[in-house]
Amino acid sequence: MYTEQGGEGPDLLLMLHGMGATGAVWSPMCANAGTRWRGRWLVVDLPGHGQSHRQDSYAIGQYAASVARAVLPHIDPAGRLVVLGHSLGGVVGLALATGWFGVVPHQVFAAGIKIAWTDEELRRMEALASQPAKTFATEEEARDRYLKVSGLAGIANTAATPYVVGRGIARGTNDGDGWRLAMDPRANGVGKPPMAELMTLARCPVHLGCGRDDALVTMAQTRSLDADARDLGPHGHNVMVEAPGQLWDWLALFP
């Protein structure tokens, strides 16, 4: 599994991105980690995303097992493991909180998890999972598609944009095949997360939150699972790109 890391000390902050994105979306937060986090940080590309390997199955448990194997060598028994997940990454963080996968975080923060799903949305995701990866003639077309799929269109306009977007696309399988998204289309088949069950099974404190303008989830939906869910301000789905300070402030509330 592709990872990036930094910092020093026994504590470890594990950051997990959302569906269709890569670990590069955490780069605005990593830029401030030296002043906002006393410890090490670890960012991964989830299986089937970015530069990480593909899997036969993308069930939440399979994601969690793969992430647990990747993070275990980085855990210092003398320190804390704190998980910060976004969207799909937040669900994976909740799965790790059950302790079923060989690691038990000290705390899990999950932002922007989509809670309410319609039958049509689930059917559309299943259809996407059954289709081959689309090939684009130019790199620019692939970049535009990645921005839409990852929810970064219109907000990934910082100096980090070339890096963030570049990690989400790849050359075609064969020379001359153009460009494609780095994401395995089958990863769309993850299905509706069992949020209530995961919240009940958590063996560590779990904190939910979302941006006030998140188009995928509302504060009311989030607070139906966590009455103390954090309002992350007037921001959309990708708060870690729009306003990384909001997430650092949130983590600081639970030292």
Q: What is the pLDDT of residue 163?
A: 79
Q: How far apart are the C-alpha atoms of 91 and 18, rounded to whole Å? A: 9
Query: Which of 124-133, 163-172, 210-219, 240-249 has the lowest average pLDDT?
Result: 163-172
Q: What is the pLDDT of residue 175?
A: 57
Bridge partner list, 107: 82
> SS3 of 93, please?
helix
All domains of the chain in start order, with CATH: 3-119+184-252 (3.40.50.1820)
Query: Which of 82-91, 120-129, 166-175, 185-194 has the lowest average pLDDT?
Result: 166-175
CA geometry: angle 229, 193, 155, nearest 5 deg: 60
Residue 153, pLDDT > 90, answer no
Give the β-pairing of 81-86 and 40-44. unpaired
Residue 30, pLDDT > 80, answer yes
Residue 159, pLDDT > 50, answer no
CA geometry: angle 71, 75, 80, nearest 5 deg: 115
Q: What's CA 55's distance to the chain center, in Å? A: 17
Instruction: Residue count of the chain, please give it.
Output: 255
Q: What is the pLDDT of residue 255?
A: 82
Bridge partner list, 82: 13, 107
What is the average per-residue pLDDT within 231-239?
95
Q: How confident is the model at residue 151 (pLDDT cuts 50, 70, 90)?
A: confident
Q: In what order do the strands lie in the sheet with 40-44?
A: 3-7, 40-44, 12-16, 81-86, 107-111, 206-210, 230-231
Q: What is the pLDDT of residue 42?
A: 98
Residue 29, pLDDT > 70, answer yes
Q: Give 94-117 pLDDT, tens digit per residue.
A: 999 999 999 999 999 999 999 999
What is the average per-residue pLDDT within 205-215?
96
Decide: residue 56, CB within 10 A, 0-12 exposed, 13-18 middle, 19+ buried: exposed
Residue 216, pLDDT > 90, answer yes
Residue 67, pLDDT > 60, answer yes
Structure pTM?
Answer: 0.94
Q: How far apart are the C-alpha atoms of 227 and 250, rounded to whole Å? A: 15
Q: How far apart are the C-alpha atoms of 173 and 255, rounded to whole Å? A: 45
Percentage of the residues of the chain whose pLDDT score is greater than 70: 96
Query: Which of 120-124, 147-151, 210-214 has the lowest average pLDDT?
Result: 147-151
CA geometry: angle 217, 221, 223, nearest 5 deg: 120
Check: CB of residue 108 under 8 Å from CB of residue 204.
Answer: yes
Q: What is the pLDDT of residue 160?
A: 53
Q: What is the pLDDT of residue 155?
A: 77
CA dihedral 83, 88, 92, 93 (to 10 degrees): 20
* DSSP per-residue codes, 108-166: EEEES------HHHHHHHHHHHTSPPPPBSSHHHHHHHHHHHTT-TTT--STTHHHHHH
